[in-house]
Homo-oligomer: A and B are copies of this chain.
Amino acid sequence: MTDGRVTAAVLVIGDEILSGRTRDTNSQYIAHFLLQIGVETREIRVTPDVEEEIVAALNALRARYDYVFTTGGIGPTHDDITADAVAKAFGVGISEDPRAIALLLEWIRPEDLNEARRRMARIPHGAELVANPLSKAPGFWIGNVIVMAGVPAVMQVMLDDVAPKLVRGATILSETIDVRGLPEGAYAAGLAEIAKAFPQLSIGSYPSLRDGKFYNQIILRGRDAGVLAAAAEQTRTMLGRLG
C-alpha cells in the first residue's frame, strides 16, 4: 500500500480448471471488480487440489500483495481442502465454527446436516466469515486472505459482502483508443516514445484477430486524469499523423 497503490492476487484452486474442462471466469471477474475500487490485481495463479501446492501458493502470494482472493475448494466433498490448506498456511488451528453451523442450518434441515456438510463449517481459527446469501455456506477472511466459493454466482455475492471492508486505492482511470487501419508495427516507435514520456502511466497495445484481420487497441491507464488525457491526446495525434 505504498503511494496509494493497493495490490491483490487471485488464487484459483481446482483440478477442473487445470484439466481445461472448466473455464475459470472468476479471476477475470475479480480483477475487473477490484479495478473499479482501485485495487490492482498483480498476479493470478491456478493450483491443483493438492494441499502443499495450495499452502505454498498462499504463502508466496500473501507475503507479496495486500490481498489474496481464493476461489474454489470449500464445498462438502473430499476434494474440498482449501480451508485446511489456509489454516496450515497461517499455522492456526481449524474446527467447526458455530456461526457457520448456524448459517448452514438456514439452508439445510438439521437431520440432513451430515458429516460431509459439516465440513463446510470448518473455519480456521481467527477468521471472519464472509456471507453467502445465495446458499449460506460461508467463505472466510483471515489476515489478508479472502476465501470464496468456486461457483461463480456464489463467489460474486461473497465478493459483494467483502467489498465494503477492503482498503481502496486511488481510482485507476483508463483511456481506450481504437486504432483504425494501422498495424502495430507502424505505430510502435511513436507509442514507445509516449510511454517513455509518461512513465507514471501503463500503456499497452493489444492486437486481436477477427475474420483474418488484425485490430489493435491502445490502452492507457493511470491515476491522474490530466496526465492521462495529455498522453491520450498525444497518442491520437501520433496515430493521426501516421494514418
A residues bordering B, Cβ < 8 Å?
12, 14-25, 27-35, 40-49, 53, 75-79, 108, 112, 114-117, 119-120, 134-135, 150-154, 174, 184-186, 188-189, 191-192, 195-196, 202-209, 214, 219, 221
Contact = CB atoms under 8 A, between A and B. Distances in A.
Contact of A46 (B27, B152, B219): B27
- Copies of this chain, complex-wide, total 2
Contact of A204 (B12, B15, B40): B15
Contact of A191 (B16, B32, B78, B115): B78
Contacts of A117: 185, 188
10 nearest A-B residue pairs (beta carbon): A20-B32, A116-B188, A20-B31, A78-B192, A44-B46, A117-B185, A77-B205, A76-B188, A76-B185, A77-B188
Nearest to A12: B44
Contact of A77 (B29, B33, B192): B192
Contacts of A77: 184, 188, 191-192, 204-205
